[in-house]
């Protein structure tokens, strides 16, 4: 009788641990798309460890259009070509910007 009670208690504890572990470790079951950036700001796609879309190449960990870099700033560590200026976006603390021809 004692062995039966102990076995039932162990089984109930194991089920409770599995149930609670599944609730807290799985997180939300639905995935939500990221909010789009504010108007006028680029979509920054990071590429460390993965490939960029066709027509883009990975420069300093950021997918950039082939040719001259268009996304610049201190966060991505990309400088514009000599005849361009890095115009940073408001509210980004000079982290992101775009290269503008002088």
pLDDT tens-digit readout, 49-70? 778 888 888 877 778 777 766 7
Q: Residue 97: pLDDT above 50?
A: yes
Question: What percent of the chain is modeled with pLDDT above 90?
Answer: 0
Task: Look at the pTM and tell me if it is higher than 0.85.
Answer: no
The owner of tokens 């027509």 is 55
- 61-81 core/surface letters (b: 16 or more CB in 10 A; e: else): ebbbeeeebbbbbebbebebe
């Amino acid at each position: 009788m004692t062995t039966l009670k102990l076995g039932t208690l162990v089984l109930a504890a194991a089920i409770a641990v599995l149930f609670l572990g599944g609730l807290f470790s799985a997180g939300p079951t639905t995935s939500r798309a990221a909010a789009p950036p504010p108007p006028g700001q680029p979509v920054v796609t990071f590429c460390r460890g993965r490939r960029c879309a066709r027509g883009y190449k990975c420069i300093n960990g950021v997918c950039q259009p082939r040719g001259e870099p268009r996304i610049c700033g201190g966060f991505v560590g990309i400088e514009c070509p000599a005849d361009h200026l890095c115009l940073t976006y408001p509210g980004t603390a000079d982290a992101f910007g775009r290269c503008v021809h002088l």
